[in-house]
Amino acid sequence: MPRVLVISLNYRTAEMTLRSVQAALRAMQGLDAELVIVDNASGDGSYEEMKAALAAEDWAKGAPIRLIGSDHNGGFGAGNNIGIRAGMSDGSCPDYVYLLNSDAFPAPGAIRALVAHLEAHSEAGLAGSYLHGQDGEAHMTAFRFPSIASEFEGAARFGPVSRLLKRKAVPMPVPAGTQRVDWLAGASLMLRRAVLDEIGLFDETFFLYFEETELCHRAARAGHQTHYVRGSDVMHIGSVSTGMKRWTRIPTFWLDSRWHYFAKTHGRCYAALATLSHACGGLLWRLRRVIQRKPAADPAHFLHDLISHDLRALLRPSPERAVPAGTGSAETNAERL
């Protein structure tokens, strides 16, 4: 039976993380699986709260759970890398790594469906779930890789343009069944450990956003597909830790991640052209807003922030970077509970 390591990354959502973990434990039944909670340097007492709950709650007693506290919040990718490097409790590597957001709740068969799919499809290196909200509404989690054309389409928000470039748009319609996609949201994503050994772990240059996009892109370049598995059902609340729905101004880390994705995958000239394409589409949208009296759709000063950020990024020397690889060792405060 393949071995599975489930990783739950917490940042200041201790109570919700523990509820998500209980759902994960139910979905792990019958599998050779262990669960690692990584507290991503929450600094709000989350680690202590979860440690106490895991020691006291009946559902946690005897469960294959470990709690790891990171002493530094390096973002989504870095936090999950800590869990991946921790490996199984006996020091071995799992066959599969399953990433589960703290605000995601897998149905009883959700994890098993991903394992079964990857076991049956050797061409797939990653597989992700069908996500839906508390209201049952499907979430858009299957995507195409970003491109110069998709930047214009997304920024223009214009029906004729979207119809012309519909095969370039990043968001895909929610698939009706299991299929190959370019990349998937990381809220419920299973990765083949052998693929990670080949291509490396998450690039920790990304603090938040675009990290799973780049990982899927790296896997695709190495010949490994990403599959959307309709039979893996996960309820997902969304944006609980990031606060994305409440943004009034685009954060610098999002701009950094977007630029790094384009520059790393296609080069700095391509990244600059992608920004130019977005600016052209954005200007078209803003013209339509004035003429048709449409409400704002972007955070305040978005286009200005994007262009000024990327001009500075283009003009400064390209930084050295390293893609994390291998198992390494877990961070501080690891405990078997």
Task: Look at residue 337 and tell me whether its pLDDT is greater than 80.
Answer: no
**Residue-wise DSSP of 207-233:** SSSSHHHHHHHHHHHTT-EEEEEEEEE
Q: What is the pLDDT of residues 266-293, one digit of tens each?
A: 999 999 999 999 999 999 999 999 999 9
CA distance 312 to 317: 10
Q: Would the pLDDT of 317 be above 90?
A: no
Compare 240 and 187 and report the one with higher pLDDT. Answer: 187
Q: Is the pLDDT of residue 331 over 70?
A: no
Give SS3 for 138: strand
Per the CB < 8 A criterion, the answer to whether 7 and 80 are in contact is: yes
Residue 318: the pLDDT is: 72
pTM assigned to the model? 0.92
* Residue 317, token pair as written in the block: 């020397």
Q: How would residue 320 be classed by pLDDT, with cut points 50, 70 and 90? A: low
Render 145-167 in DSSP notation, one character per residue.
PP-HHHHHHHHH--HHHHHHTTT
- For residue 106, the SS3 value is strand
> pLDDT for 46-75, tens place per residue?
999 999 999 999 999 999 999 999 999 999
By CB neighbour count within 10 A (0-12 exposed, 13-18 middle, 19+ buried), where does 296 fall? exposed
Does residue 94 register a pLDDT over 60?
yes
Distance, in Å, from the CA atom of 152 to the CA atom of 76, rounded to the nearest integer, reads: 27
Q: pLDDT by residue (tens digit) across 167-201?
A: 999 999 999 999 999 999 999 999 999 999 999 99
> What pLDDT was estimated at residue 159?
95
Q: pLDDT of 18-37, one tens digit each?
A: 999 999 999 999 999 999 99
Helix (H, G, I), strand (E, B) or coil at 179: strand
Write the pLDDT tens digit of every residue in 122-181: 999 999 999 999 999 999 999 999 999 999 999 999 999 999 999 999 999 999 999 999
- Going from the C-alpha of 165 to that of each of 147, 204, 232, 287, the distances in angstroms are 11, 32, 30, 20
Least confident of 46-50, 196-200, 304-308, 316-320: 316-320
Cβ count near 248 (within 10 Å): 7
| 111, 24 Cβ separation under 8 angstroms | yes
Per-residue pLDDT for 244 more than 80?
A: no
Reported for 168-173, long-range contacts at CB under 8 A and 24+ positions apart, including other chains, are 168/144, 169/144, 170/143, 170/144, 170/145, 170/146, 171/140, 171/143, 172/140, 172/142, 172/143, 172/144
Amino acid identity of residue 220, one-letter, is A
Return d(Cα 62, Cα 269) in angstroms, integer: 54
Confidence bin at 322 (pLDDT 50/70/90): very low
**Residue pLDDT, tens place only, 207-233:** 999 999 999 999 999 999 999 999 999
Residue 185 parent element (H or E): none
